[in-house]
Structure 1
Amino acid sequence: MAYETLKQEIIEYSKSIGVDKIGFAPANEFAELKSKLKLQEDSGFKSGFEKGSIAERTEPARLMSEAQSIIAIAIAYPSRLKNAPKSVKGDRRGLFCRASWGKDYHHVLREKLELLGTFIKEKVEGFDYKPMVDTGELSDRAVAERAGIGFSGKNCAIITPEFGSYVYLGEMITNIPFPSDQPVDDGCGECTKCIDNCPTGALVEGGRLNAQKCIAFLTQTKGFLDDEYRGIIGNQLYGFDTCQVVCPKNKHVDFHLHAELEPDPELVKPKLIPLLSMSNREFKEKFGDMAGSWRGKKPIQRNAIIALAHYKEISAVADLIRVMQKDPRPVIRGTAAWALGKIGTREAFDAIKVAREIELDEEVIIEMEKGLNFQYVSN
């Protein structure tokens, strides 16, 4: 079979299963990416979530010995929340970033890739492929860029001509030498809005990210959040997308093409106080289908506590006192103590002092001292 003909058939089939963009790239080494990853590693800018060695992340043949080409796909997701509930005094809400709206995109894209793989298998004897979405060794962004899905923006996202950067990416390495597509020309030009609006300076330069300072990364960590970031995180429970929101390429971009990716307003803007007492089972039942649940409830609860402190939500004091007194996890207990001091009522300060007398964990005690150092405000 002529590979160009097969390629066109795959493109047509991809449209029928809800793939918004598809591109084809050679499976040769990503040499430029290799040097960039080495620089990231040497600079201490890695997140720690990366899978595989630098060689595995840049040499497709290490992942599949007969690798000849890579098929990249993209699916657009919404950027605006319809019927968003209000976050008001006494009933504050947190926020999941747009990339966590709707059904977990890992599952959605894997399903599309498996359908594509099955389709090709039925046409080509001996066809083999290796699919991956986000958690694989390959850089989804580097593959998408090479395959002509979009260009790599200064905000470290793939920006497509049609959907801006609001796209999920996935790919499959194949043993078929498909004709390659042409990369998209860079479209950022002199614009630096994403860099200028990054609140922590995580975008150290166009296209280069210090993951250790990125709010999106920090919301997913499980330990104590450094003091310098607690005032910046606001009400973010998971992820952060200011670098996409300010991008001119995303102006007026809002696509609602896939029912499974439509956000549930009560899930993506949940009430904060109920999160504090949620069991593992309740968390999984409520948020388990979202991408933002992958690290479990602990980071979400920690961030919810910080959000309540951000709002200085007096109605949460009783719940935070209970968390400080009874939660078995030092990070949650200590963050609650800090938040109580930040809110600053007499009841909060008195509770910290009492709990301080019986607390044994040194890190929690440090957080209690921080809480007690805040200025008292009247109830």
Structure 2
Amino acid sequence: MYRQLKQELIDYSKEIGIDKIGFAAADPFLELKEKLIQHQELGYASGFEEKDIEKRVNPALLLDQPRSIIAIALAYPSKLEKAPKGKKGERRGLFCRASWGEDYHSVLRRKLAMLEAFLQEKLPDVRFKSMVDTGELSDRAVAERAGIGWSAKNCAIITPEFGSYVYLGEMITNVPFEPDTPIENQCGSCTKCIDACPTSALVQGGQLNAQRCIAYLTQTKDFLPEEFRKHLGNRLYGCDTCQTVCPENKGKHVLKHAEMTPEPEQVKPLLEPLLSISNKEFKQRFGSMSGSWRGKKPIQRNAIIALAHFKEESSLPSLVQVLNDDPRPVLRGTAAYAIGQIGGAEAKQALNLALSQEKEEDVLFEIERAIQTVHSML
């Protein structure tokens, strides 16, 4: 009975646009537990994860008497068609691929809800708990056990069909589905992702120090430590470096889900207008993207750092306005940093004026350091 139901569920998943589905036992993830404890002790956690390690590794704490876990994967595009080109005076930022199109949490939750309804129709007594990314379980650990793909050195799940360009979700259930066979790790001796990581966040294959990961750093709301600023480039949210250098991702580009189609002006926006965007405008323009979940402040801070990266002189008036008028110390201080990177007489004058008016200690520190930078250029 359950073997037939499994096949029916697989067939139905294809009908509703799920690209891969796999089944895993609901046993505790004991090996993962050891890694998570070590990860925490080393200070490598991002802080966005579920704090209770037991809940992350024991499905029985999330659903009474679980018998299996259903894992799903949806492929997302890796290429931006008709991408607008940034140029002097019109510099652009970039949202990572996982933020293209509609927020993937919403997309996958809809798919999981359809699977739930399908199971309920077949088995009225079925119980389940579904989650996407923000749930307690590790999406990657479940996907690996369910045969969706292997857990790679870049800490992503790599599928033979779509590379690592997949979103993951899962459903714990009391239905005893037969588990699938995991895929053998195929990274071999390749270390391209480790070698290419801009901040050396990939400590070793399969171990990530999230505190150094640009994808994490772009989501923080405080001052970005100076050692990371020049590594940010024009990234507004996320980082794809460890994916784009991966040989398994070469030639992988899937655009089969309309809701994941990237809107060029949305995912590669002009930087300068972001500095003065209102909350309402930000929600209207970017609110449907997963990259907007932390609000506009991190995006604006990153846009300022991107303008510093380009040393965009035409943005000086806008940056000076942020330095003088923005109520948020992080943005004022980051604007001072950018003005210092651009340099010149106008920058020096603006920084000296701000120094005489600013009261916030952290901002004063940034202004003084920016003045030193300008002096070193003259």
Same fold per superposition (TM over 0.5)? yes
CA RMSD of aligned residues (A): 1.1
Matched, 1:260 2:259: yes
CA distance in 1 between partners of 2:376 and 2:288 (Å): 41
Question: What's the counterpart of residue 234 of structure 1?
Answer: 233
| AA aligned opposite 1:71 | I
Deviation at 1:377, TM superposition (A): 9.2
Deviation at 1:67, TM superposition (A): 1.1
Question: What's the counterpart of residue 323 of structure 1?
Answer: 322
Do 2:21 and 2:73's aligned partners in 1 also have CA atoms closer than 8 Å? yes
Question: What's the counterpart of residue 219 of structure 1?
Answer: 218
CA distance in 2 between partners of 1:375 and 1:359 (Å): 18
Question: What's the counterpart of residue 354 of structure 1?
Answer: 353
Question: What's the counterpart of residue 126 of structure 2?
Answer: 127
Do 2:36 and 2:53's aligned partners in 1 also have CA atoms closer than 8 Å? yes
Do 2:95 and 2:291's aligned partners in 1 also have CA atoms closer than 8 Å? yes
| AA aligned opposite 1:331 | V
Q: What CA deviation, in whole Å up to 9, does each residue of 1:170-219 have, x standing for no partner?
A: 00110111000000010100000000101111000000000000010000
Question: What's the counterpart of residue 148 of structure 1?
Answer: 147
Matched, 1:337 2:372: no
CA distance in 1 between partners of 2:352 and 2:11 (Å): 67
Structure 1 portions without partners, runs of 5+: none
Matched, 1:108 2:115: no
3-state SS, counterpart of residue 122 of structure 1: helix
Question: What's the counterpart of residue 32 of structure 1?
Answer: 31
3-state SS, counterpart of residue 237 of structure 1: strand
User: For residues 1-379 of structure 1, what are the structure 2 equivalents within 5 Å?
Assistant: 2-375=1-374
Runs of at least 4 residues of structure 1 off by over 6 A?
none
| AA aligned opposite 2:87 | V
CA distance in 1 between partners of 2:230 and 2:188 (Å): 32
3-state SS, counterpart of residue 169 of structure 2: strand
Deviation at 1:378, TM superposition (A): 9.1
TM-score, normalisation: structure 1: 0.99
Deviation at 1:51, TM superposition (A): 1.6
| AA aligned opposite 1:225 | L
Do 1:204 and 1:210's aligned partners in 2 also have CA atoms closer than 8 Å? yes
TM-score, normalisation: structure 2: 0.99
| AA aligned opposite 2:215 | A
Deviation at 1:280, TM superposition (A): 0.9
CA distance in 1 between partners of 2:94 and 2:51 (Å): 31
| AA aligned opposite 1:48 | G
CA distance in 1 between partners of 2:311 and 2:169 (Å): 41
CA distance in 2 between partners of 1:363 and 1:57 (Å): 37
Deviation at 1:373, TM superposition (A): 1.1
CA distance in 2 between partners of 1:139 and 1:321 (Å): 44
CA distance in 1 between partners of 2:376 and 2:43 (Å): 41
Do 2:22 and 2:146's aligned partners in 1 also have CA atoms closer than 8 Å? yes
Do 2:348 and 2:374's aligned partners in 1 also have CA atoms closer than 8 Å? no
Deviation at 1:66, TM superposition (A): 2.2
Do 2:344 and 2:374's aligned partners in 1 also have CA atoms closer than 8 Å? no
| AA aligned opposite 2:135 | G
3-state SS, counterpart of residue 122 of structure 2: coil
| AA aligned opposite 1:32 | E
3-state SS, counterpart of residue 370 of structure 2: helix
1:378–1:226 distance in 2 versus 1, CA, 3 Å: closer
CA distance in 2 between partners of 1:142 and 1:373 (Å): 48
CA distance in 1 between partners of 2:375 and 2:311 (Å): 12
CA distance in 1 between partners of 2:282 and 2:300 (Å): 10
Structure 2 portions without partners, runs of 5+: none
| AA aligned opposite 2:248 | K
Do 1:344 and 1:377's aligned partners in 2 also have CA atoms closer than 8 Å? no
CA distance in 1 between partners of 2:234 and 2:359 (Å): 30
Do 1:345 and 1:377's aligned partners in 2 also have CA atoms closer than 8 Å? no
| AA aligned opposite 2:12 | Y
3-state SS, counterpart of residue 133 of structure 2: coil
CA distance in 2 between partners of 1:102 and 1:266 (Å): 12
CA distance in 2 between partners of 1:359 and 1:377 (Å): 23
Identity of aligned residues (%): 62
3-state SS, counterpart of residue 375 of structure 1: helix
CA distance in 1 between partners of 2:318 and 2:94 (Å): 20
Q: In the comparison of the two structures, how many residue pairs are matched?
A: 378
